[in-house]
A and B are shown apart, each in its own frame.
Chain A
Amino acid sequence: MSVRKTWQIFARDVAMGPRTMMVLWLIVFPLLITFVVRLVFGDLIDPSPRVGVVDFGSSSIPAALEADDGIDLTIVNRVAELQEMVETNELDAGLVLDAGFDAAVQRGDLPNLRFFVGGESLASNRIVLAVTTIDLIRGLAGEPAPVEVVTEVIGDGSSVPFQQRLVPMLVLLSVALAGIFLPAASLIQDKTTHTIDAVLITPAQVGDYFVAKGMVGFLLAFGVGVITLLINGGFTAYVGGNLLVVGVGALMSVQIGLILGAAIKDIQTMFTVWKGGGIILFAPAVLFLFPTVPQWIAKIFPTYYFLGPLYEMTVNAVSVADVALDLAIGVAISIALAGLAGIVARRMEKRLAAA
Chain B
Amino acid sequence: MGDSAIKVDNVRYSYGKTLAVDGISFQVGRGEILGFLGPNGAGKSTTIKMLTGMLTPQGGKVELFGLDVSHNRKEVQARIGVCFEEKNLYLNMSGMENLIFFARLFGMKGYDPREALKRVGLSERGNDRVKRYSKGMRQRLMVARALVNTPDVLFLDEPTNGLDPVSSRAIRAIIQKESERGAAVFLTTHDMNEADQLSDRVAFINEGLIVAMDTPENLKLQHGTRSVRVRMRENGDVSERVVPLDTADTGELLKAAVGSPGLMTIHTEEATLEDIFVKLTGRGLT
Interface residues of A (CB under 8 A from B): 4-5, 8-9, 12, 16, 19-20, 193-195, 197-205, 352-354
Please give me the residue from chain A that is nearest to B145 by CB atom.
Answer: A198
Please determine whether A202 and B91 come into contact, CB atoms closer than 8 angstroms.
no
Interchain CA distance A302-B62 in the complex, whole Å:
46
Q: Which of B37-52 contact A (CB under 8 A)?
A: 49, 52
Please give me the residue from chain A that is nearest to B20 by CB atom.
Answer: A354
CB of B19 to closest CB in A, whole Å: 14
Contact (A203, B88) CB under 8 Å given A12-B101, A353-B54, A354-B55: no
Please give me the residue from chain B that is nearest to A4 by CB atom.
Answer: B107
A19 partner residues in chain B, CB cutoff 8 A: 92
Please determine whether A198 and B88 come into contact, CB atoms closer than 8 angstroms.
yes
Interchain CA distance A202-B81 in the complex, whole Å:
8
A205 partner residues in chain B, CB cutoff 8 A: 74
Any A CB within 8 A of the CB of B82: yes
Contact (A198, B102) CB under 8 Å given A203-B78, A203-B107: yes
A354 partner residues in chain B, CB cutoff 8 A: 15, 55
Any A CB within 8 A of the CB of B104: yes
Contact (A203, B101) CB under 8 Å given A16-B90, A194-B88, A195-B90: no
Query: Main SS of the interface on chain B?
Result: loop
Please determine whether A193 and B91 come into contact, CB atoms closer than 8 angstroms.
yes
Interchain CA distance A352-B90 in the complex, whole Å:
18
Interchain CA distance A28-B54 in the complex, whole Å:
40
Chain B, 101-132, contact with A by CB distance < 8 Å: what is the 0/1 string? 11011110000000000000000000000000
B residues contacting the other copy or chain, number (CB 8 A):
26
CB of A12 to closest CB in B, whole Å: 5
Please determine whether B49 and A202 come into contact, CB atoms closer than 8 angstroms.
no
Contact (A202, B15) CB under 8 Å given A16-B90, A16-B93, A194-B84: no
Partner of A203, one of B49, B84, B106: B106
Partner of B74, one of A8, A12, A203, A352: A203
Please determine whether A5 and B84 come into contact, CB atoms closer than 8 angstroms.
no
Please determine whether A8 and B49 come into contact, CB atoms closer than 8 angstroms.
no
Please determine whether B105 and A204 come into contact, CB atoms closer than 8 angstroms.
yes
A12 partner residues in chain B, CB cutoff 8 A: 90, 93, 101
15 A–B contacts, CB within 8 A, in A order:
A8-B105, A9-B105, A12-B93, A16-B92, A16-B93, A20-B92, A193-B91, A198-B145, A200-B54, A201-B77, A202-B105, A203-B78, A203-B107, A353-B54, A354-B55
Please determine whether A201 and B82 come into contact, CB atoms closer than 8 angstroms.
yes
Please give me the residue from chain B that is nearest to A8 by CB atom.
Answer: B104
Any A CB within 8 A of the CB of B89: yes
The list of the 9 closest CB pairs from A to B, nearest first, reads A194-B88, A353-B54, A202-B105, A203-B78, A194-B86, A8-B104, A198-B88, A19-B92, A195-B88
Q: Which of B8-64 contact A (CB under 8 A)?
A: 15, 49, 52-55
A201 partner residues in chain B, CB cutoff 8 A: 52-54, 77, 80, 82
A193 partner residues in chain B, CB cutoff 8 A: 88, 91
Please determine whether A199 and B84 come into contact, CB atoms closer than 8 angstroms.
no
CB of B113 to closest CB in A, whole Å: 14
B145 partner residues in chain A, CB cutoff 8 A: 198
Please give me the residue from chain A that is nearest to B86 by CB atom.
Answer: A194
Chain B, 61-101, contact with A by CB distance < 8 Å: what is the 0/1 string? 00000000000001001101010101011111100000001
Interface-central residue, B77, B84, B88, by most chain A CB under 10 Å: B88
CB of A208 to closest CB in B, whole Å: 9
Please determine whether B88 and A353 come into contact, CB atoms closer than 8 angstroms.
no
Interchain CA distance A200-B82 in the complex, whole Å:
11
Please determine whether A203 and B105 come into contact, CB atoms closer than 8 angstroms.
yes
Interface-central residue, B80, B86, B105, by most chain A CB under 10 Å: B105
Contact (A197, B84) CB under 8 Å given A20-B92, A203-B77, A354-B55: yes
B92 partner residues in chain A, CB cutoff 8 A: 16, 19-20
A353 partner residues in chain B, CB cutoff 8 A: 49, 54-55
Interchain CA distance A33-B59 in the complex, whole Å:
57
Please give me the residue from chain A that is nearest to B148 by CB atom.
Answer: A202
B49 partner residues in chain A, CB cutoff 8 A: 353
B55 partner residues in chain A, CB cutoff 8 A: 353-354
Interchain CA distance A281-B54 in the complex, whole Å:
36
Given contact pairs A12-B101, A198-B84, a sample of 15 additional A-B residue pairs in the complex whose CB atoms are under 8 Å apart: A8-B101, A16-B92, A194-B86, A195-B90, A197-B54, A197-B86, A197-B88, A198-B89, A201-B54, A202-B77, A202-B78, A203-B77, A203-B78, A203-B106, A204-B105
A197 partner residues in chain B, CB cutoff 8 A: 54, 84, 86, 88
A202 partner residues in chain B, CB cutoff 8 A: 77-78, 102, 105-106
A198 partner residues in chain B, CB cutoff 8 A: 82, 84, 88-89, 102, 145
